[in-house]
Structure 1
Amino acid sequence: MSSFPEALSISLVEPINTAVDAVNSRFGDTFHDASIWLLRHVLVPFEGALRALPWWLVLAAVFLLSLHATRRLAHAIGFTLCLLLVGAFGLWDQLIQTLALVIVATSISVALAIPLGILSARSNALRNVLMPVMDVMQTMPSFVYLVPVLMLFGLGKVPAILATIIYATPPLLRLTDLGIRQVGEELVEAATSFGTTGWQLLIEVQLPQARPSIMAGLNQTIMMALGMVVIASMIGARGLGEDVLEGIQTVNIGKGLQAGIAIVILAIVMDRITQGYGKDSRQRLALAGKGTK
């Protein structure tokens, strides 16, 4: 068997390590301060607030939110009972930790993706730059995201959140751009002819018309954030992913599977709620009418 010629061999290992070391030595203190700020002022207070809520109040909030999103009583009751089952598994605290991680990561992803998606929809030049980057971010194996954040931020919940943001942002950005670009030119021209400003056109015409696409992107972002839960537990994120990882490491199949079922339940509940809000009020009322028949 002939081997590949050594003269043509190229290695990226040393240049990448040198670049990471240079960034770390120059901006390490800044990264550390940002990590502490995010942990102290965002994640810990939010997680503490969720933990302080009585379990029955959280279930009541999920019931009301599910009912408002889906307009189906059976679905709302089913989702609430599913989360009640997670509590019965003895995983309520882990569920809250995972929920806090996903909500914080998703909120930051939304804050980044929607404005960038809007700018991308208005600028072909920016879109030509962003889309290849999004392609790389979506095709990169999720484990790879742990390497740079681990090098720059160390272990803990903050690098787990940052890795989740990088992994989960692309679908929302893409679908925001797509939704705005798909708004009919006739509608835009009609609104412009009535003297609407660019801001009014965006807020009152383009974003409402692009809402189904944006909500589909949000749904995908939440699902991808949940998909990083187990992987992020490898670098110090707590919650349900930690139980899955511990079940794998100790060959405790029951513990890992039980935590995995809890993650699936949380994913289904969040998926159905965001899908419900992706429909306009008329579609939701129509679903409610079908549900009562």
Structure 2
Amino acid sequence: MRMGIDDGFRGIVRAYSDQIDAATRPLQWFLNMLEHAFVDTPWFIIFALILVVVWFASRSVKIVIGSAIGLALIGVFGLWEDTMTTLAMVTVATMIAIILGLPIGILMARSDRMQKILTPVLDVMQTMPSFVYLIPVVVIFGIGKVPGVIAVVIYAIPPMIRLTNLGIRLVDKEVIEAADAFGANPRQKLWGVQLPLSLPTIMAGVNQTIMMALAMVVVASMVGVGGLGKNVLQAINNQFFTIGFLNGFALVAIAIIFDRASQAFGKRLQKHSEAGHD
């Protein structure tokens, strides 16, 4: 029976391989474009841009200085290009996870039935070993960067969905009643009340999505994704402690930069939301 299912699955994939390639071509193009932009742009420009983004997100001199030190060490260790490749992949995967996860989370928040259906699905997605995601992805899409990004998105999207749902459901009912009293329709309540007030929680979802995407990078390197994950995998296979440690350090540095900046941004949104609510 298992062999029959596997053979049937492979047959379907072979029959629709041209359509699958056509569907993933825009993603391949966008990923290649972003990777070339990150890798080919002079390092000092990317360095400055990252620090500017961190500053606008956190408004913290300490976080900016810490980010500068982390990026400088990545350059000193000769890992800048691999880090930019990884950064491009994580950026694309996070963007897709947000674009898909936000509307699904909104749908869950607006429908109790949808929440009951999707909650066990998300539970399975979050408890499934990360290596398992690679099997159907490789069978359907083959080996390469795009299958790696798809596997990362599948692994990283549950927090985005859950925290969007949670954030909208936690909006004060009195505020919703006030919006109803002013004659707001469901669309106006969503965009004018619920989403702005739930932004801090949604940003926590973005933060967790980025962290999970970075964690999945090493596993995704098994299907042909380059960057730091590939180096870590080679270090494991060849028992190169120093190479593994340095590439692991680069991943940790990027993770800390993203984490601190997005957390600080979430806290600023929280203060702004509370001030507006008062």
TM over 0.5: yes
Task: Map Cα deviations across residues 28-75 of structure 1 (whole Å, 9 max, x no partner).
Answer: 2211222333212x1111111222322112221222222222222122
Q: Which runs of 5+ in 2 are unaligned?
A: 273-278
Q: CA deviation at 1:154?
A: 0.7
Q: Which residue of 2 aligns with 1:252?
A: 240
Q: Which moved more, 1:85-94 or 1:16-25?
A: 16-25
Q: How many residues align?
A: 272
Report what 1:45 is aligned to: 33
Deviates more, 1:59-68 or 1:161-170: 59-68
**Contact 2:137–2:151 (8 Å) recurs in 1:** yes
Whole-Å separation in 1 of the counterparts to 2:14 and 2:70: 48
Indicate which of 140, 156, 159 corresponds to 1:152. 140
Q: Are 1:127 and 2:115 counterparts?
A: yes
Shift of 1:80: 1.2
The 2-side partners of 1:37 and 1:14 are apart by 33
Superposed CA RMSD:
1.5
Q: Deviations over 1:197-218 (max 9, x none)?
A: 2222111210111111111111
Name the residue aligned to 1:8.
none
Residues 238 and 204 of structure 1, relative CA distance in 2, 3 Å threshold: same
TM-score normalized by structure 2? 0.93
Q: Distance in 2 between matches of 1:59 and 1:171?
A: 29
Q: In 1, Cα distance between the equivalents of 2:260 and 2:229?
A: 21
- Range that drifts further, 130-139 or 192-201: 192-201
- Matched residues in 2 for 1:48 and 1:104: separation? 13
Identity of aligned residues (%): 45
CA distance in 1 between counterparts of 2:109 and 2:148 reads 30
C-alpha distance 26-126 of structure 1, shift in aligned 2 (>3 A): farther
Q: 1:184 aligns with which of 172, 176, 186?
A: 172
The Cα shift of 1:15 comes to: 4.6
After superposing the two structures, state which structure 1 stretch, 61-70 or 76-85, moved more: 61-70
Partner of 2:15: 26
1:109-120 counterparts in 2 under 5 A?
109-120=97-108
Match of residue 291 from structure 1? none
1:242 aligns with 2:236: no
**Which of these residues, 182, 186, 206, is aligned with residue 218 of structure 1?**
206
CA contact (8 A) 2:148 2:220 kept: yes
Task: Give 2:24's match in structure 1, choosing from 35, 53, 57.
Answer: 35
Aligned equivalents of 1:209 and 1:38: distance in 2?
32
